[in-house]
Amino acid sequence: MAAWDMKARGIGGALLVAYVVLFFVYLESPLVFILLASFNKGLTVRFPPSGFSLQWYSALWDLVREVPGVKPGLVDAVVTSIWLGLASTAGALIAGTLAGFALYRLRFPGRQALRQLFLLPLLFPQIVTGIGLVLWFSRIGGVPTWLRLLLGHLILTLPYVVVTVTASLETLDVRLEEAAMNLGAGRVATFFLITVPGIRSGLMAGAIFAWLTSFSNFTVTFFLFSGEVQPLPPWLYQIMQYFIDPSIAALSTCVLLITLAVLLIMNRLLALGRLVGLSQ
Amino acid sequence: MNEGAELVLNGLAKSFGAVAAVQGVSLAVQRGEFVSLLGPSGCGKTTTLRMIAGFLMPDAGQVLLRGRDITALPPYRRDVGLLFQNYALFPHMTVRGNIGFGPRMQRRGRREIGDRVRWALDLVQMGGFAERFPHELSGGQQQRVAIARVLAAGASMLLLDEPFSNLDARLRSRMQEEVRELQLRLGIATMHVTHDQDEAMAMSDRIVIMNAGRVEQIGAPAAVYGAPASVFVAEFMGRCNRLEGVVSRAPCGLGWNLALGEAGQVPLGNAIADPRPGARIAVFIRPEHLRLAPAGATQGAGVLRGEVRRVVYLGSRSAAYVTLAGNTGLLVHLPNDPGSEGPGELTGPVDIQPLPGAVMMVAAGS
Amino acid sequence: MHRRRAVRVWPAFALLSPGLLILASLVAACAILLRYSFNDWDPVRTMVPAWTAKNYLNLFLDPAQQRAAVTTLRISVIVTVACLFLGYPVALAMTRAGRYRGLLVFLLVTPMLTDVLIRAYGWIVMLGSAGPVNAIMVGLRLWPAPRRLIYTEFSVVLELIHEMVPFMVLPLTAVIERIDPALRDAAMNLRASPLRSFLHVTLPLSLPGILAGTLLVFALSMSAFVAPLVLGGGNVTVMTVLMRQTMFATLDWPRGAAQSVFLVGIVLVLLLFYRRALGGQRRTA
């Protein structure tokens, strides 16, 4: 039986609803304003908007080919980010699923400590990760940029996969696996035939989280990129140093829309609430 | 009947979406009376209780407390005390803090709060536990603190929401006695929600039986058990045998019988007001109101014939599963005599005879 | 006996190995930082292997370092307190949202997953001299003329609050929703109005959540890099920005390493307490 529901009653309830609405307006406002700015007519972004124009999207299209003075171009940066995202997601998926399974289904000494260790990069200061990796790479020498970025991103994305996989594992009844083994399936077969399909939604959510994290990461990437291999966020930063014109807004809007679309898809697969620690 | 009553419910109704949880419930609880709302899960008893406490707004109907219409009042302005199934003691406050919470909210002076806390603690015999925290107490002790808390807040009526379900059997019966004694001593009207009919019968002055949102019957335990108003009540309050047959004249003009074909006949006694010969009716008989004898041992025509299939030993009594000629099943409860060797004594063909007045007629169409 | 134990551990180890390899990079990075932080440095020879504590001493003695620490502390405290007051009502609302909860969670989590640089850019747009904030303030005659808002500590704080508030709301929500709803019913039955039952029951019982959220936001604020970098425009020097300067401008690696170790140390301690605050959850209700 639900507790006395105050949502619709009285001043207190109405105030709370009003506040929440305002709050979420505040939370989403930078994104909304980028969207508005991308349609700005004229160079200076002013509000109320003086006009509505698609000029920046066409400027963006020009930018797609080459930005004078900054190599590589936008397309290269986007492609780099996409590939980096895919690679680190793939790695994180494999490592994360295996680790998640081991940490939450098997028993062995030091399990608790390892569980914490795998979640550490989530809250570890990214700047320290970045600096530490730079020092380490320069110490051992000869590490190509792509590998540096990949390792850095793997560290970032691995915990997300572990979190979603374990959240999924918790909902998957252990008894299904036990039943399979009772019917003669070995551990490996059980894993691939029962466990993996069972946590399918967790895997997909983890993959999406991982990819998004990698795609939007700035801090660690900032310390590891180079002139040749430059993912999107550091590229954006350098552009922003030189020109803050609304074509950035246009670009940002595109990226935002992609992110939003991906998130909406993921929301269908696995309720976001569970993943961030809320009971469902 | 409703004048001077502590609590009156008038046509309460509440639906959740398409589900009508409570439909047209009306009842009255007198001052000092202990009334149980009894029924299976989903019958609407808890919903009714929450409407009395003020946590749900009824769709229709009124709640009157001492004549005052409190239907629209929020829960913190009602004068009823609610006892929760899991006690709901505040874990971050001591026993004293918990019990003193009500008086504190009523902005009473510090001395008065202290007096009330002490009074309530003594009432439930938990005097030495004032500084303990809820998690340091056993289930029964928490129960008592919950009662003290509600009493200290001062209430004209107590509402108990299945408060004994979490206790083990022995503790449960002890708490039932304690609560009932306390209630009698204080003379405070009480409404108690439960799905356990033994508990309801043990504690109540009157029982309200609910099913699917409606009231089936209101009455004292004996009335509800012995004269059920509907088939549901008959079958809910303990086991019940159902017999179908034809009304016919008893031999030697001894009134009316129910003829069950090969199985025999059962005297109807005063069960039917208006017997119509040849009518097909159903009657109910409690298992403990039947007696068994070896076949052929009984004289007279008001006897059923059947065969014992199985006997189960239940300690204070045995349950015999009997099949009548014609394949109707009967459950018979027999007291176990001292030195009885349990099942196995009764087998084979038997005569079954109801005790006088055992036959219950239940309203048609229910 | 020995063989049986090995058999049980081995499969787990095999499964964990890819993950452990990845984490090993992080561990290696930390190890290097630790080692380098004790090295010496001079402008001529750059880094010199040594075992000196001077980098750590400098953390407390160097005035630039002190200023950065104070700035970081000040910003982190403001952000944390603001997030607490802004976020608590939201957490309350989330626990009572019923069927809208999924929507609220989505709205809350989405900004967290978007490009942090893009969000920062959004704030630049909003706080620009011709931007909406200035337009509203001037339009409502609250300010005589547009003020310069970006590239100030104020803009950094605003952006950080925006970034951190979900991290306050989520632990709070997790704790509040585990509070037994019967407790609130009991309080109201005992004559407490909704406001008073909140103050006397819900609020005290949500203390672990408040603690957890505060620690988390504080730790994250201290390690924030993008907001001070992008929205500070060089005017806001917090510890992370100073670290970048040390590493890439001055190239004083040992000092940068010491700063990193220091930051990590503080953050890890805070996170340890954060875990403890949430761990105590098993007991309540």
Rounded to whole angstroms, how far apart are CA atoms B48 and B54?
A: 10
Q: Indicate yes or no: CB of B88 within 8 angstroms of CB of C186.
A: yes
The residue among B41, B55, B84, B161 with the most chain A CBs within 10 A of its CB, best to mutate, is B55
- Residue numbers in A near B54 (CB within 8 A): 4
- Say yes or no to pLDDT of B92 above 90: yes
Range with the lowest mean pLDDT among A171-185, B94-108, B173-187?
A171-185
Kindly report the pTM of this predicted structure: 0.82
Residue in B with minimal Cα distance to A4? B55
d(CA C48, CA C44): 10
Alpha-carbon span A216 to A221, nearest angstrom: 9
pLDDT in tens, A9-63: 566 778 888 999 999 999 988 888 888 888 877 666 666 766 777 777 777 777 6
**What CATH fold (topology level) applies to the domain C55-116+150-282?**
MetI-like fold (1.10.3720)
Res C164: pLDDT: 92
Average of per-residue pLDDT across A147-170: 89
Chain A contact for B318, CB < 8 A? no
CA angle B45/B49/B55 to nearest 5° reads 130
* From B50, B54, B75, residue closest to A1, measured CB to CB: B50
CB contacts under 8 A, A 214-243 vs C, are 215-216, 218-219, 222, 232-233, 236-237, 240
CB hemisphere CA count around B232 (13 angstroms)? 15
The rounded distance, in Å, linking the Cα atoms of A129 and A125 is 7
Question: What backbone phi and psi angles, to 5 degrees, belong to C80?
Answer: -65, -50
Contact between C180 and B82 using a beta-carbon 8 Å cutoff = no
Strands B68-69 and B80-83: unpaired
Contact C281, C175 (CB under 8 A): yes
Chain B residue with Cα closest to C191: B76
Dihedral sign, Cα of residue B64, residue B68, residue B69, residue B73: negative
Structural contact between residues A153 and A80, judged by C-beta atoms closer than 8 angstroms: no
Q: How far is Cα A47 from Cα A41, in angstroms, rounded to an integer?
A: 11
Query: Could you tell me which residues come within 8 angstroms of residue B278 by beta carbon, excluding any fewer than 6 positions away?
Result: B246, B247, B248
Chain B, chain C: beta-carbon pairs less than 8 Å apart: 66
State phi, psi for C201 to the nearest 5 degrees: -115, -60
| CB-CB under 8 Å, C125 with A128 | no
Mean pLDDT of the region C52-78: 89
- Residue range(s) occupied by CATH 2.40.50.140 in chain B: 241-361
What one-letter code names the amino acid at C235?
Answer: N
**pLDDT per residue as tens digits for the range A119-143:** 888 889 999 999 999 989 988 888 8
The predicted model gives C222-246 an average pLDDT of 89
Q: What pLDDT is attached to residue C3?
A: 47
Cβ-defined contact of A4 to B55 (cutoff 8 Å): yes
Q: How far is the C-alpha of A112 from the C-alpha of B111, rounded, in Å?
A: 51
Taking CA–CA distances from C268, the nearest residue in chain A reads A124
Residues of C in contact with B78 (CB under 8 A): 189
Residue A28: closest C-alpha in chain C: C111
C232 phi, psi to nearest 5 deg: -85, -25
Going from the C-alpha of A81 to that of each of A63, A264, B43, the distances in angstroms are 17, 21, 60
Q: Phi and psi (nearest 5°) for C274?
A: -60, -45
Cis, bond preceding A48 (omega within 30 deg of 0): yes
Q: In this structure, what DSSP letter does residue B250 have?
A: P
* Pairing mode, strands B60-65 and B68-69: antiparallel
Q: Where are the alpha helices (DSSP H) in A6-110?
A: 10-38, 55-65, 74-105
Chain A residue nearest residue B76, CA to CA: A4
Residues 6+ apart with CB under 8 A from A91: A150, A154, A157, A158, C18, C22
Please name the amino acid found at residue B38.
Answer: L
Alpha carbon distance A116, C188 (integer Å): 40
Give the 3-state DSSP-derived string for chain C, with helices as H, strands as E and coil as C.
CHHHHHHHHHHHHHHHHHHHHHHHHHHHHHHHHHHHCCCEEECCCEEECCCCCHHHHHHHHCHHHHHHHHHHHHHHHHHHHHHHHHHHHHHHHHHHCHHHHHHHHHHHHHHHHCCHHHHHHHHHHHHCCCCHHHHHHHHCCCCCCCCCCCCCHHHHHHHHHHHHHHHHHHHHHHHHCCCCHHHHHHHHHCCCCHHHHHHHHHHHHCHHHHHHHHHHHHHHHHCCCHHHHHHHCCCCCCHHHHHHHHHHHHCCHHHHHHHHHHHHHHHHHHHHHHHHHHHHHHCCC
pLDDT attached to residue A273: 59
pLDDT winner (highest mean) among A5-14, A37-46, B203-212, C238-247: B203-212
* Mean confidence (pLDDT) of chain C: 85
Q: What is the pLDDT of residue C60?
A: 87
Kindly list the distances between the CA atom of residue B43 and the CA atoms of B22, B243, B349, B363, in Å, as whole numbers in the listed order: 8, 27, 42, 21
Considering chain B, what is the average pLDDT of its residues? Answer: 86
- Confidence at B342, pLDDT banded by 50, 70, 90: low
Q: Which residues does chain A have within 8 Å of residue B46's beta carbon, measured at their own beta carbons?
A: 1
**Look-up of token digits 């009967």:** B330
Per-residue tokens: B336? 């176990």
CB proximity C199 to B under 8 Å: no
Asked if A266 and A208 touch (Cβ cutoff 8 Å), the reply is yes
Residue B54 distance to chain A (closest CA, Å): 9
Whether the CB-CB separation of B228 and B362 falls below 8 Å is answered with yes
Are A151 and A234 in contact by the 8 Å Cβ rule? The answer is: no
Residue scoring higher pLDDT (B36 or A200): B36
Question: Would an 8 Å CB–CB cutoff place A11 in contact with chain B?
Answer: no
Q: CA-CA distances (angstroms) from residue B76 to B79, B83, B153, C93, C95?
A: 8, 15, 11, 21, 22
Domain ranges in chain C? 55-116+150-282
Instruction: Indicate which of A9, A24, A27 best probes the interface with C, i.e. most C CBs within 10 Å of its own CB.
Output: A27
Residues facing B9 on adjacent strands: B27, B63
Specify the pLDDT at position B160: 94
Q: pLDDT tens across C217-230, in order?
A: 999 999 999 999 98
pLDDT at C250: 83
Residue of A4, A7, A11 to mutate, testing the B interface (most B Cβ within 10 Å of its Cβ): A4
Chosen from B14, B19, B49, B56 to mutate, greatest number of chain A CBs within 10 A: B56
In three-state secondary structure terms, B267 is strand
Angle at A276 between CA A102 and CA A16, to 5 degrees: 165
Tokens, residue A181:
């083994």
d(CA A139, CA A246) in angstroms, rounded, equals 41
If we measure between CA atoms, which residue out of C166, C132, C161 comes closest to residue C149?
A: C132
| Token pair in block for residue B221 | 């335990």
CATH of B241-361, one of 1.10.10.2120, 3.30.360.10, 2.60.40.10, 2.40.50.140: 2.40.50.140
- Structure-model confidence comparison of residues B207 and C102, the more confident one: B207
Query: For position A156, what pLDDT does the model report?
Result: 92
Kindly state the average pLDDT of the residues A89-116: 86
- Residue B136 identity: E
Question: What does the pLDDT look like over B230-254, one tens digit per residue?
Answer: 888 988 888 888 888 888 877 776 6
Phi-psi region of A142 (alpha: psi -120 to 50; beta: other; left: phi over 0): left
Q: CA-to-CA distance for A99 and C15, rounded, in angstroms? A: 6
For residues B215 and B209, is the Cβ–Cβ distance under 8 A? yes
Token match 């001529």: residue? C44
Tens-place pLDDT, residues B2-38: 667 889 999 999 998 888 889 989 999 999 999 999 9
Q: To which residue do tokens 């019967």 refer?
A: C182
- List residues of chain B with CB under 8 Å from any CB of chain C: 53-55, 74-78, 80-82, 84-86, 88-92, 101-102, 105-106, 135, 149-150, 153
A28:C33 CB<8 A: no
A191 touches chain C (CB under 8 A): no
Measured distance CA(B133)–CA(B89) in Å, rounded: 9
Residue in chain C closest to A267 (alpha carbons) equals: C106
Query: Residue A269: which pLDDT band, with cuts at 50, 70 and 90?
Result: low
CB–CB of C32 and A135 under 8 A? yes
**pLDDT of the residue at B32:** 92
Q: CA distances (Å), B187 to each of B116, B148, B149, B158, C110, in order? A: 18, 15, 17, 11, 59
Give the number of other CB atoms < 10 A from CB of residue B136. 12
What is the pLDDT averaged over residues B266-289? 81
pLDDT, residue C110, reads 84
DSSP code of A52? B
- C98 within 8 A of A7, measured Cβ to Cβ: yes
Cα torsion B178, B183, B186, B188 to 10°: value is: 160
Domain B5-229 fold: Rossmann fold (3.40.50)
Report, as an integer, the average pLDDT of C247-259.
86
The segment(s) of chain B belonging to CATH 3.40.50.300 are 5-229
Q: What is the 3-state secondary structure (H, E, C) of C192-249?
A: CCHHHHHHHHHHHHCHHHHHHHHHHHHHHHHCCCHHHHHHHCCCCCCHHHHHHHHHHH
Domains and CATH numbers, chain A: 69-242 (1.10.3720.10)
Nearest to B206 by CA among B187, B195, B192, B185: B192
Query: What's the pLDDT tens digit per position in C174-209?
Result: 889 889 999 999 999 999 998 899 999 999 999 988
Give the separation between CA C182 and CA C189, rounded to whole angstroms: 10
Is the pLDDT at B168 greater than 90? The verdict is no
